[in-house]
Amino acid sequence: MRKFKFILLAVVLFTGFSFCSSSEEKEGSPDEAVVTDELKQEVKIGKALAARLVKKYGIVKNEGVTRYLNLMANSLGSVSQRPNLKMRVGILDTDEVNAFACGGGYVLVTKGTLKRMKNEAELAFVMAHEMAHMVLGHSVKVKKQGGFVEFIANFLGGGGALMNMAIEQASAEMEKQLLETGRSKEYELAADRDGLILASISMTYDYSAGIEYIKRSGAAASKEDELRNKTHPPYSERVAQMEGLVKEQGLPKSGKFNDARFQREMATLFSDSSSK
């Protein structure tokens, strides 16, 4: 049984193969069928993990704000290295400050995170950070071995039921990592780096917003942020890297903030919350 569990967990986790966006984007590539299978598995696992987090925290039902977040995420996605990955964003009903890249395009952001933000440029950075985890292959790993997951399920005689068991097992392990141990420090810093570039260069948001959001989060860090403090690098280290990146890349000194639009959308979210 232990050996069987090990085989299932070897299918997905946070090490190994990183998805190749080029074969995902170009039709007719020799690897197209393999990548399609991998993407299907990534979406299944991401959906299963998102469902676990929704069960834990609950989901905010605000159609307008949810649509706004999804439009932004898909706009960012369209200029990322995985432009064909459909983004699906939901709001977790908790005042904890966190956001989760579940894989397969699924991103969950907490109500507490949105409440801490001041403008759309900060939101763009957080979304781009989570998207970078998926672009860089930090969220879900499916081994590129031509249907390896299906092979295991069929070989062991379990078919679809065993496949579902593997997905459930993988999502459980990933939930534990997100909520308890976190991704590696290197992964988080890489997502900060690529997220800042995506938001500021590709979408022309002001880079200072992302840095200010991290600074503000560091200043507000408390026991309420215990999970995030435990699963992310020190805020000072993140800020230092981002400020270094600004100089290194020569990021534009001014960009958009879209304060009014962001505040208008958030007003509906938090007025709904206060009326409950």
Confidence of residue 276 (pLDDT cuts 50, 70, 90): low
Is the pLDDT reported for residue 190 higher than 80?
A: yes
Domain boundaries, the chain: 2-274
Question: What does the pLDDT average to over 225-254?
Answer: 84
Amino acid at 221: A
Q: What's the pLDDT tens digit per position in 153-175? A: 444 444 556 557 666 776 667 66
- Structure tokens belonging to residue 30: 């020799």
Please list, in sequence order, all residues whose beta carbon lies within 8 angstroms of the beta carbon of residue 99, skipping any fewer than 6 positions away: 107, 108, 109, 110, 113, 126, 127, 129, 130
Q: What's the pLDDT tens digit per position in 43-97? A: 888 898 899 999 999 999 999 999 999 999 999 999 999 999 999 999 999 999 9
- Which run of H or E residues covers position 30? none
Burial code (b: 16+ CB inside 10 Å, e: under 16) for 153-183 equals beeeeeeeebbeebbbbbbebbbeebbeebb
